Each structure stands twice: as C-alpha cells, then as structure tokens.
Amino acid sequence: MKLAGAVVLLVLLTGCATTQGTGGSGPSPSPGVQPARKKELPWLNVPGGQMKTTLFYGPWQCRRQFVNQCQMECAKESHTLMGCIWLADIKLDWVGSLIVLPVPVKAGSRYGIYHCCCNYPTLPKAVKEVERKRWEKIRDSFRDGWSKKFGEWPVDGGISWPGHHIRDLWHGGNPVDPNNIIPVQPSIHDEFTRAYPACYAGQAPWNTVGPDLPYSDN
C-alpha cells in the first residue's frame, strides 16, 4: 500500500463503518495470537476532522493475499519470489463531520506493509553507501513531512526512531521514496534487519504462508 495515498483515501471514506483498504487486515485474529506491539500517534487535524495513526509491528509471515501479490510483483520484473515479510500494519482512524450532512461520523482503514523478497541483484558496497547518504541528507525534512501527514514521528528519550526502508537499499530500494519508509522502534528495526537475509535466502518462516491476521489489537 502506498502510504502517501492512504491519508487521501481515508478522508474520502467517511462512512460509519470501518473500511478495509487494499492489503488491509480485515479477518478476525487467528486463535492463540498475541497482542501486537503498537505505537499510537497523536491526533492530527485534517480537512473535516481529526485523524489518528496507529502502527502495529511484526515481523509476521505474510498472509496468502500478500504472497500472491508478491509473486506477481517479482514476475513482472523477471525475478523469483524467495520469501515475504509482513512488517507492519498502519491503521488510520478519522472522526469529523460530513460536508454535505453536518453530523458526527467515524471512519477507519488498515493497510498491510509487507516486503517481497524477490531475488534482486545486490548493489556494490560503495553504491549502497551513496544511496545511504542520499537518505541521510533528507532524513530530517522527511520526518517533518511525514509528521504533517500521519502524526508526530516517534521519539524515545529524545532520539527519533529510525526510518526503515521497506525495500532495503542493498537490494535496490529507493532511499528517498516516501512510500518506501516507515518509522520503526529501534529494537524492532533490529529484528527486521535480521529477518531480511533469511527471507532473501528463501528460509523459514518467510518462505511459507502465515495466518490472515497474526495478532490482536489489544
């Protein structure tokens, strides 16, 4: 799901029922699942009301829908899918009033953030460092821009959370694409970093399909 378009979509979804976006987590949690690690951001003023972003963090095995989409994405670029990591869900809640009918309404959407581990070629170390420098140059301004769209970029102890590149730089990820970056708690970011090599190597558990919803909201 493209994060930049998620806010626009949510503002349009002003029905009374919760709406699931493409790639969203609509099913009921699987039996025995644990609450997800999550981060609720402050309410943000948006046209017609207020919006709150909640981030739920994995990593989890990808549900069947995500794996199918990854297979098509890899094949489109003449690559083979080695694995899939469901990194996070982003939940957007909106409260406000309809313009045409000034009554209080609520709406919400949830979008899955996952990475397709296609057998992409890797970049030489020197090239990867150049790409990393591109990210470092725009990092502060990116966080400011992200905060205006989704809510304040998370900070712990005065230190901003790292920005995680969904498609990693070593495998050709765009270092400055706003749709390729999400804030991640440092300890969880370390988990993501450890999971990627296994996913690209086609190793378990990332090479098999997981449950439709591997966590609870509690």
Q: Three-class SS of residue 32?
A: coil
Instruction: Return per-residue pLDDT of the chain as tens, 218 residues.
Output: 445 444 444 433 333 222 233 344 456 666 556 778 999 999 999 888 899 999 999 999 999 999 999 999 999 999 999 999 999 999 999 988 766 555 566 677 889 999 999 999 999 999 999 999 999 999 999 999 999 999 999 999 999 999 999 999 999 999 999 999 999 999 999 999 999 999 999 999 999 999 998 988 75
pLDDT digits (tens, 9 = 90+) for 158-215: 999 999 999 999 999 999 999 999 999 999 999 999 999 999 999 999 999 999 989 8
CA angle 12, 15, 20 (to 5 degrees): 75
d(CA 173, CA 192): 15
Convert 161-187 to b/e letters by CB count within 10 Å (16 or more is b).
bbbbbbbbbbbbbbbeeeebbbbbbee
Q: Which residue has the tokens 């440092």?
A: 186
Q: What size, in residues, is the chain?
A: 218
